[in-house]
């Protein structure tokens, strides 16, 4: 049964509300007059906020948030951005499934609100059978009979297991799909462009085996993990037995959540004489302090199988918790390392200090 209501910390960004603070609440799907809406309730009460979903969804993103919890992010075409965090994985997956159906106009709006949760087979309506729905959303197959742990383990297998093929045709399909994902990612082109009619026509007519390339949903679920694993192994080879500078910086993304970017720079110039840094991991931080930062960096170093003695430089900004991370953890764990603070950050602080007494400079 697909839940039409999920609970967790809620945050919104819209023209009417601006960016709100995190508050306990819920997302509820409401179907009325052949239209689908999302109603945001707060646990403390107040007037609910209603957002139209029909023909208004831009993207639906589901990200794991530790253990059996997920973060569900919904971007609307009217520039609204809705997030609900710490939702049980099974409920979040099923809510995402419903929102994907709305996005692709597969919702059967004849489902009455009085039916409560309702069967998702009914939600898809006559245009898509349940069998077809399972092909399009492979992560929900047999989900009715699986508990949350089984569902989570099944999802993890798609990330860690290589793609299988038994015939030459299957091998060619896997090769063209992984090559397509790698090309789009390398060119910074969204996978959603694959669903554009002109792109589909070009692939069918001009690209050999291009017709085998599926839509964004299947590319994301099936082929992105495969490409990621291969690129990760290539990075491990590039970093093997190299002296490494570890660079990490904390910043905020568009939901105002703190993230930590960890980069490795092998101290070996390329053919042009340049030292290149490689982004290896991006971590969402629930709290920003020397403990969470240290844990994320140590995990990244271990994951890429870098010898601790090969870490020779720790490069951070000038924040106190960054200094504490080195003094309390990295100076001992990485015995050959020295701490360097980012020159650009220091120059920026000097510039701000110089500009501060001259407030009229910023007045027009």
Domain with CATH 3.30.420.40 in the chain: 240-351
- The top-level CATH class assigned to 5-160 is mainly beta
pLDDT tens for 18-53 read: 778 888 999 999 888 888 889 999 988 888 888 888
For the chain, give the percent of residues with pLDDT over 70.
80
Pick from 300, 148, 176, 160: nearest CA to 225: 160
Residues with Cβ within 8 Å of 162's Cβ and at least 6 positions away in sequence, in order, are 226, 229
Where does CATH 2.30.29.180 sit in the chain? 5-160
pLDDT tens digit sequence for 52-92:
888 888 888 887 776 688 888 888 888 788 888 888 988 88
75-79, 116-120, 320-324 — which is least confidently predicted? 116-120
Confidence label for 155 from pLDDT (cuts 50, 70 and 90): very low
Give strand pairing partners of 341. 316
Q: What percent of the chain has pLDDT over 90?
A: 25
pLDDT tops 50 at residue 123: no
- Alpha carbon distance 156, 145 (integer Å): 18
- Quick one: angle between helices 224-239 and 168-186, nearest 10? 70
Residue 224 scores a pLDDT above 50: yes
Is the pLDDT at 302 greater than 60? The verdict is: yes
C-alpha distances in Å from residue 314, one per residue of 19, 127, 244, 311:
35, 56, 9, 8
Q: What's the mean pLDDT in 91-109? A: 80
The top-level CATH class assigned to 240-351 is: alpha beta
């Amino acid at each position: 049964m697909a839940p039409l209501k999920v609970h967790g910390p809620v945050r919104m960004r819209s023209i009417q509300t601006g960016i709100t603070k995190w508050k306990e609440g819920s997302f509820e799907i409401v179907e009325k007059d052949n239209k689908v809406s999302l109603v945001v309730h707060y646990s403390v009460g107040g007037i609910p906020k209603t957002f139209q979903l029909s023909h208004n969804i831009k993207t639906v993103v589901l990200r794991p948030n530790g253990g059996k919890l997920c973060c569900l992010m919904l971007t609307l075409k009217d520039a609204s951005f809705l997030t609900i965090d710490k939702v049980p994985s099974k409920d979040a997956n099923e809510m995402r499934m419903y929102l994907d159906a709305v996005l692709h106009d597969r919702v059967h709006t004849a489902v009455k609100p009085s039916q409560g949760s309702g069967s998702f087979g009914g939600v898809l309506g006559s245009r898509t059978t349940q069998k077809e729905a399972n092909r399009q959303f492979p992560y929900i197959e047999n989900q009715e009979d699986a508990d949350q742990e089984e569902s989570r383990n099944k999802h993890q297998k798609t990330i860690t297991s290589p793609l299988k093929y038994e015939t030459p045709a299957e091998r060619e399909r896997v090769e063209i799909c992984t090559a397509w994902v790698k090309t789009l990612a390398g060119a910074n082109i969204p996978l959603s462009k694959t669903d554009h009619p002109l792109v589909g026509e070009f692939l069918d007519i001009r690209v050999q085996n291009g017709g085998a390339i599926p839509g964004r949903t299947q590319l994301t679920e099936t082929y992105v993990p495969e490409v990621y694993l291969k690129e990760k192994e290539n990075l491990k080879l590039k970093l093997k037995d190299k002296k490494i500078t570890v660079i990490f910086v904390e910043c905020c993304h568009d939901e105002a959540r703190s993230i930590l970017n960890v980069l490795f720079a092998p101290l070996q110039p390329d053919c042009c004489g340049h030292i290149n840094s490689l982004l290896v991991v991006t971590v969402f931080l629930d709290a920003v302090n020397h403990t969470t930062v240290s844990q994320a960096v140590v995990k990244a170093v271990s994951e890429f199988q870098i010898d601790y003695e090969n870490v020779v430089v720790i490069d951070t900004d000038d924040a106190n918790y960054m200094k504490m991370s080195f003094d309390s953890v990295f100076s001992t764990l990485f015995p050959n390392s020295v701490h360097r603070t980012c020159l650009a950050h220091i120059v920026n602080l000097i510039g701000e200090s110089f500009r501060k007494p001259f407030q009229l400079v910023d007045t027009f």
